[in-house]
Amino acid sequence: MTHPHDPLDRGSAGRPLQVEAHGLDVIADAERRGTPRSLFWPWFGANVSVLGISYGAFALGFGISFWQALAAGVLGIAVSFLLCGFIAVAGKRGSAPTMVLSRAAYGVRGNRLPSVVSWMLTVGWETVLTALATMATATVFSSLGWGGGTETKVVALMVVAALTVVGGVMGFDLIMRLQTWITLITGILTIVYIALVADHVHWSAVDALPAGSAQEFIGALVFMMTGFGLGWVNAAADYSRYLPRGSSSRGVIGWTAFGASLAPLVLLLFGLLLAGSSDRLSKGIAADPIGALTTLLPTWFLVPFAVVAVLGLVGGAVLDIYSSGLALLSAGLRVPRYLAALFDGVLMIAGAVYIVFFADNFLGQFMGFLTTLGVPIAAWAGVMLADLALRRRDYDEGDLFRPHGRYGDVPLLPLFLTLAATAVGWGLVTNTAASWLTWQGYLLEPFGLGGKTGAWAYANLGVLAALALAFLGTLLPGPGRVRSQEAQEPSPALDEGVLNP
């Protein structure tokens, strides 16, 4: 079993904390350490949030039964985090951030397009998590009679944002230490929460939920995929890049998928039981996904619940702001990594202010955000996974930064595949709760799927279609391209003819 102080950097606990100097650069052999099992801590800590309980209500909102929702959740969580595990292998092969490694598929400057999409997704996620932590704190304070109004929200937002931004700016060492403690604290307090509210589960009501259609089941399945693994897949190699090259690929896949999936699977099961037992609770979660869970608690546990809720959400937000900074650098911004993370923190605060103080219908906007950006990220994942599957050797580190190297500058095929798969994907998803997304679903009628009001309107087929089209479009013509790249001699040193290393 991994010791709590056995993160990827075994020596980090004994060193004074300092701002991480690494940005997009390749991690030198002397700095690579740890074992695949140490990946458990950052991935578990980032996904142990009690928001996982709320996903039970989200899944049942598709109009399906408990057993259908459980099957959709298990498949969606396990499969999507398995994809993260596969892409994490690229990290130990190339020892660079995820959105640098995808240059092998997209070219050095062609990769800027998916880097921008990745940046938007991670900034969006960190904003959502920060807003949720703020609203949860306000709800708890209101229940205790300590306020809960605008002043409380402002203070809560400042504290949550400070924790997130400091973690993102400081970088890898602090994140690894922080995630270990978040894992331990939130894990224990979440178990206490489950024990305290277990008597609110009424199996007769849960079992009586009517079954939904196949289309509704698929919609819930895809929503689970986009809400969990596909929300992390574009950052999956950011932590495995510190592992030695000789680390077991199976171990990297297994510990990433296991660490990320374990908590969500348990929390989802309990969330389904709670939401299925109370229609009132299920509707309350749609408005305040974390705060609604406090209505079941005794007063004495409200403060500990606020701690577990905030820490769990901060754990995810810290990983997001770290990866969003790396994605912004990969998109072409030439500043130190910590300044990119700080810039993203400013955007995160602005977005959280809008969600907390001005936005209505949080769930509708949230689902629209997930499905809209989930489509191009699924297309990127398809290209990346196929390219990774074709490779038999480690990446050439120098050519990842050299526009005229073996990976090319702006190859047209991966960009065309990504744009085409995204166009098809957006044509097969809908979200009527978000007014800014009513243009989507334009292919449902031409494809004979009943249009925007038909049975397939909310199945979110576009995410699966984008993933499959991009994967097959890269895999089938790709072997010759990859073989020719791997047949070339190693490139010159990293400082010769490189682009923003």
Q: Which residue has the higher pLDDT, 171 or 99?
A: 99
- Is pLDDT above 70 for 34? yes
Give me the sign of the Cα torsion angle 366, 368, 373, 374: positive
**Tokens describing residue 132:** 């949720």
pLDDT at position 215 is 95
Q: DSSP per residue over 181-249, as a string?
A: HHHHHHHHHHHHHHHHHGGG--HHHHHTPPP--HHHHHHHHHHHHHHTGGGTGGGTTTTGGGS-TTS-H
Q: How far does the chain reach from its first CA to its final CA, in angstroms?
A: 37
Q: How far is residue 413's CA from residue 86's CA, in Å, rounded to a whole number?
A: 22
pLDDT single digits (tens) 351-398: 899 888 887 766 677 767 777 888 999 999 999 999 999 999 999 989
Amino acid letter, residue 262? L
Winning range, highest mean pLDDT, from 15-19, 92-96, 251-255: 251-255
Taking only the tens place, the pLDDT of each residue in 103-140 is 999 999 999 999 999 999 999 889 988 988 888 888 88
* Share above pLDDT 90 across residues of the chain, in percent, rounded to a whole number: 54
Residue 63 has pLDDT above 60, yes or no: yes
Question: How far apart (Å, rounded) are the C-alpha atoms in residues 475 and 389?
Answer: 8
Q: Is the pLDDT of residue 68 over 90?
A: yes
pLDDT > 70? residue 410: yes
Residue 137 is predicted with a pLDDT of: 86
Q: Distance between CA atoms of 501 and 499, rounded to whole angstroms?
A: 6
Higher pLDDT, 425 or 361: 425
Q: Please say whether the beta carbons of 161 and 345 come within 8 A.
A: yes
How many CB atoms lie under 10 A from the CB of residue 125? 25
Instruction: Give 307 or 89, the one with higher predicted confidence.
Output: 89
- pTM metric for this prediction: 0.86
Tell me how far apart the alpha carbons of residues 359 and 338 are, in angstroms, rounded to a whole number.
30
Cβ proximity of 252 and 36 under 8 Å: yes
User: pLDDT digits over 190-201, tens only?
Assistant: 899 999 999 999
Residue 167 to residue 335: CA distance in whole angstroms: 18
Question: 3-class DSSP state for residue 415?
Answer: helix
CB 5 within 8 Å of CB 178: no
Q: What is the pLDDT of residue 9?
A: 42
